[in-house]
Copies of this chain bind each other. A is one copy, B any other.
């Protein structure tokens, strides 16, 4: 059987690498990559444990790093790849950074805020909604999460 990872775009594979690296550090395995014009601008994995900061999610770290690299607090030509459906915090950050397109892996019915929960980008007070595509690389992303949580039990 073909490895489903081979059918994924390079940025999503890099995001999965970041998620796997996060797991190896004892962090919930989520990874994120910011891309502009085919170039990777920033990549990050979850660091909530290391930084003792429950807001140090992969998306927020990658977005801040991309803003730093590009010298701009707005990233209108940038796309974000993330292995898990963003939560309310990260969905709000994606709006604030003006991300153009969002590609995410596993859907998260419990914590996701894009296609679940508050569905932030569909709220009338949301000032910027990216184009959003979910379920890309869902299987490997979900497998990483499942393995991680099974070792904790």
Contact = CB atoms under 8 A, between A and B. Distances in A.
A123 B73 CA distance: 29
- A interface, by DSSP: helix, strand, loop or mixed? loop
Interface of A: 48-49, 52-55, 60, 63-64, 67-68, 71-74, 87-89, 91-93, 95-97, 110-113, 116-118, 120, 123-127
15 contacts: A49-B73, A52-B71, A54-B67, A54-B93, A55-B96, A88-B88, A88-B91, A88-B92, A88-B95, A89-B93, A89-B96, A111-B127, A113-B125, A117-B123, A117-B126
B120 A118 contact: yes
A54 B88 contact: no
